[in-house]
């Protein structure tokens, strides 16, 4: 149980285009989803937290207008990188939490999406 | 401020040898504690977690971790390492339930296993 999927697993796009990444909880309802960014050989950096049906809460330094997050249902959150540039190239990982399932706030992670902007 | 420290950036062990990965945290209260493992190009897999109760926690793949409040530590151990254990290991702490919750990750320890 507690499986989280991401799509696509990798994407290559041209500079200036927008890219949408999907995060789905497959066998539970994700009341909260998190989006992380990971640079090579570094730890995860939390970008934003989204609760179903409400606006995402962004971490300091993360551009809200560049990284659009939508959590429209209990099983789906999307991250859209708008007007992508080469410096946005990174590994994006989502996680999901079901507070009704795990009191200790366990996060279940997706497999990640590698974005390369040319 | 809340923080997680993994002192060892890189560790190399021989297959069959024992392993201990260190994790220290700084937090105002007893947090929830987690160990995750990440294989190259993959997301994170939960190895084990500590919430309360027995301070020695058993996880998947033969891993265990011990919470020591006096040392603010949550070290990960395995008695006999397998080549497939080569990966990046992250320690994380989380706050108590309720409100805005997020995990704080350590920098990670990269484990290499020699045959």
B42: Cβ contacts below 8 Å, ≥ 6 apart: A111, A112
Nearest chain A residue to B6 by CA: give it: A43
**End-to-end alpha carbon distance in chain A:** 37
User: Of A89-98, A107-116, B98-107, where does mean pLDDT reach its minimum?
Assistant: B98-107
**Rounded CA gap, A101 and B91, in Å?**
22
The whole-number pLDDT of residue A102 equals: 62
Interface probe for A, chosen from B44, B52, B59, B104 (most Cβ of A below 10 Å), is: B44
Structure-token pair, residue B103: 């995990």
Query: Which pLDDT tens digit goes with each residue over B16-58?
Result: 999 999 999 987 777 889 999 999 888 889 999 998 888 999 9
Does the distance separating the beta carbons of B45 and A103 come in below 8 Å?
no
Query: Is the pLDDT confidence value at B96 over 60?
Result: no
On chain A, the residues whose CB falls within 8 A of the CB of B106 are 43
Instruction: Say what percent of chain A tops pLDDT 70.
Output: 94
Does the distance separating the beta carbons of A49 and B110 come in below 8 Å?
no
On chain A, the residues whose CB falls within 8 A of the CB of B32 are 104-106
Query: Is the pLDDT confidence value at B109 over 50?
Result: yes
Classify residue B90 by burial, with Cβ atoms within 10 Å: 0-12, 13-18, 19+. buried
The whole-number pLDDT of residue B94 equals: 81
Distance (Å) of CA A71 to CA A74, B26, B57, B82? 7, 32, 34, 40
**Rounded CA gap, A57 and B47, in Å?**
28
Asked if B56 contacts B71 with a C-beta cutoff of 8 angstroms, the reply is: no
Name the CA dihedral angle for A67, B46, A1, A50, rounded to a multiple of 10 degrees: -20
CA A49 to chain centre: 9
Instruction: Please count the other Cβ atoms lying within 10 Å of the Cβ belonging to residue B36.
Output: 25
Query: Which pLDDT tens digit goes with each residue over A86-100?
Result: 999 999 999 998 767
Q: Is A116 on the interface with B (CB under 8 A)?
A: no
User: Of A38-52, A78-92, A99-113, B48-62, where does mean pLDDT reach its minimum?
Assistant: A99-113
Look at residue A91 and give its three-state secondary structure: strand
């Amino acid at each position: 149980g507690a499986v989280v999927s991401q799509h696509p697993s990798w994407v290559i796009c041209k500079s200036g285009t927008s890219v949408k990444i999907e995060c789905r909880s497959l066998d539970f309802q994700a009341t909260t989803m998190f989006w992380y960014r990971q640079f090579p050989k570094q730890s995860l950096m939390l970008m934003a937290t989204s609760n179903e049906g409400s606006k995402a809460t962004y971490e300091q330094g993360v551009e809200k207008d560049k990284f659009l997050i939508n959590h429209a249902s209990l099983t789906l959150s999307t991250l859209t990188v708008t007007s992508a540039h080469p410096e946005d190239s990174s590994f994006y990982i989502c996680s999901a939490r079901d507070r009704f399932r795990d009191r200790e706030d366990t996060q279940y992670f997706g497999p990640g999406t590698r974005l390369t902007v040319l | 401020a809340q923080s997680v420290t993994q002192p060892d950036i890189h560790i190399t062990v021989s297959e069959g040898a024992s392993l201990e990965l260190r994790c220290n945290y700084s937090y105002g209260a007893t947090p929830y504690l987690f160990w995750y493992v990440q294989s190259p190009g993959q997301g994170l897999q939960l190895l084990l977690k500590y919430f309360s109760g027995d301070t020695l926690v058993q996880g998947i793949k033969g891993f265990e971790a011990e919470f020591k409040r006096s040392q603010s530590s949550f070290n990960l151990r395995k008695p006999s390492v397998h080549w497939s254990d080569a990966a990046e290991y992250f320690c994380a702490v989380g706050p108590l339930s309720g409100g805005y919750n997020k995990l704080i990750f350590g920098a990670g320890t990269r484990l290499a296993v020699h045959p």
